[in-house]
Amino acid sequence: MNAKSFYSWVCAAVCAMTFAAAFVSTSHAAGSEEQTSAAAVQAQNTMTPQPLILGRGVNVLGYDPIWNQFEKRRFQEDFFPKIKAAGFDHVRLNLHPFRHMTESEGNIKFNEGWESTLDWIVNNSLRNGLKIIIDLHEFQTLSKDPQANKAKFIAFWEAMSDKFSGYSNRVIFEILNEPHDKLDAALWEVYYKEALAIIRKNNPERPVVIGPTQWNSINKLDTLNLPGEDRNLIVTVHYYLPMRFTHQGASWAGKELQETSGVTWGSEADLAAVTEHFKKVQDWALENNRQIYLGEFGAYDKAPMEGRVRYTDSVCRTAEKMGWSWGYWQFDSDFIVFDVKNGQWVKPILGALIPDSPSLKEN
């Protein structure tokens, strides 16, 4: 074993052991952090592992009526402790703020009520021991016309950088979900580096999530040119392969997939494909000494449940063996792990995500 191979092996082993330990013991945040003193924040930040281990998570609130009218929300306050009790360590908050931003006299501000809703979500997450990723989910709008939406992109990160500067590192920033289209590798690098510079002014050590272009593709990692001196960057990829299985019957995925049904998953070849794909990502991570966050994965509700369970379990266990954190897509709406209407976990999916979840024992 040469020196480079030995170093890679050590990195992988340490990362995997640290990740496993994070599942066994997750620290709890208590109380609203906006009232925390500067000294207390500094002490808490000092205790934050570098780099922060996100652990097991779930995507939340991207398509909830809460953003238009708080009283009509599907997501209730008791869902935060339910998520924690089920064994999750973090939530990834999918934000679409551009439609809630107004420009007046050269200034861009959030519409009334939007920030108070954000505060409610962030502070409830932290009170319940959940880390939270502030994920700018404006991937369609910004990717389609980057220049026309750049002012809102910059204004958003200026606001978030200032707003959360006094919060502990349990609040994580994700610069943009799934850049694609006109946000090719070259232009995306310009945009994320400008946003990162804004963030680092007030948040020099806050964990920041950045992924490659082409929908956070595992095949585009080599296009990322991250600043080597910034060790608080977490690299994200998304995984929905094969699309014919994971998106069968999905109305937004094109006519062919919309009309596809009955596709199964779970053969030896299927299992081997996950390992092969993830090994490619792991090789890049070790070569570049970066932590990987699998920020989205899952199979749409219209796929056969048996295959969805096998797929979800395979993706999770393979990611965990490599020391990655992950965030399942998603809590509510579609691909669901929680049935909001009936107030119950979808236990086959929860069991595939977290086999030892205490919530599986609930009636």
Q: Are 330 and 58 within 8 A, CB to CB?
A: yes
Whether 178 shows a pLDDT value over 50: the answer reads yes
B/e letters for 180-216, b = 16+ CB within 10 Å, e = fewer, are bbebbeebbbebbeebbebbbeebeebbbbbbbbbbb
C-alpha 66/C-alpha 47 separation (Å) is: 34
* Percent share of the chain, pLDDT over 90: 84
Predicted local confidence at residue 50, as pLDDT:
55
Predicted local confidence at residue 363, as pLDDT:
77
Whether 83 shows a pLDDT value over 60: the answer reads yes
Whether 99 shows a pLDDT value over 60: the answer reads yes
* Percent share of the chain, pLDDT over 70: 86
Residue 315, SS3 per DSSP: helix
Predicted local confidence at residue 235, as pLDDT:
98
What is the sign, positive or negative, of the torsion defined by CA atoms of 314, 334, 331, 220? positive
For residue 247, tell me if it sits in a domain.
Answer: yes
B/e letters for 232-270, b = 16+ CB within 10 Å, e = fewer, are bbbbbbbbbbeeebbbbbbeebeeebeebeebebbeeeb
For residue 115, tell me if it sits in a domain.
Answer: yes
Q: Are 36 and 166 within 8 A, CB to CB?
A: yes
Name the region of 49 (left: φ>0; alpha: ψ -120 to 50; beta: rest).
Answer: beta
The pair of structure tokens assigned to 29 is 């945040």
DSSP code for 44:
H
Higher pLDDT residue, 331 or 48?
331
Of the candidates 169, 161, 172, 232, the residue with the CA atom closest to the CA atom of residue 202: 161
User: Which tens digit of pLDDT belongs to each residue from 241-292?
Assistant: 999 999 999 999 999 999 999 999 999 999 999 999 999 999 999 999 999 9
C-alpha 276/C-alpha 5 separation (Å) is: 19
Predicted local confidence at residue 45, as pLDDT:
40
Predicted local confidence at residue 51, as pLDDT:
59
Neighbours of 355 (CB within 10 A): 12
For residue 250, tell me if it sits in a domain.
Answer: yes
For residue 299, tell me if it sits in a domain.
Answer: yes
Whether 31 shows a pLDDT value over 50: the answer reads no
For residue 363, tell me if it sits in a domain.
Answer: no
C-alpha 31/C-alpha 50 separation (Å) is: 23
For residue 275, tell me if it sits in a domain.
Answer: yes
What's the pLDDT band for 48 if we cut at 50, 70, 90?
A: very low
Q: Are strands 233-239 and 107-110 parallel, antiparallel or unpaired?
A: unpaired
What's the pLDDT band for 336 if we cut at 50, 70, 90?
A: very high
User: How many domains does the chain contain in total?
Assistant: 1
Whether 15 shows a pLDDT value over 70: the answer reads no
Higher pLDDT residue, 138 or 38?
138
C-alpha 155/C-alpha 108 separation (Å) is: 7
Give me the residue label for tokens 């069991």: 351
Question: Average pLDDT of 301-319?
Answer: 98
CATH number at residue 297: 3.20.20.80
Whether 29 shows a pLDDT value over 60: the answer reads no
Radius of gyration of the chain from Cα atoms?
20
User: Which tens digit of pLDDT belongs to each residue from 198-211?
Assistant: 999 999 999 999 99
Query: Mind spelling out the 3-state secondary structure of 143-186?
Result: HHCHHHHHHHHHHHHHHHHHHCCCCCCCEEEECCCCCCCCCCHH
Would you list the DSSP string of 76-144?
-TTHHHHHHHHT--EEEEEE--GGGEEEETTEEEEPTTHHHHHHHHHHHHHHTT-EEEEEE--HHHHHH
* 290-to-1, 12, 110, 209, 293 alpha-carbon distances in Å: 22, 11, 34, 11, 10
For residue 13, tell me if it sits in a domain.
Answer: no
- Which residues form the domain of 148? 46-357
Whether 62 shows a pLDDT value over 50: the answer reads yes
User: Which tens digit of pLDDT belongs to each residue from 114-166?
Assistant: 999 999 999 999 999 999 999 999 999 999 999 999 999 999 999 999 999 99
Neighbours of 310 (CB within 10 A): 19
For residue 22, tell me if it sits in a domain.
Answer: no
DSSP code for 69:
-
∠ CA(127), CA(128), CA(134), 5° rounding? 75
- 9 residue type, one letter: W
Q: What's the chain's average pLDDT?
A: 90
Whether 40 shows a pLDDT value over 60: the answer reads no
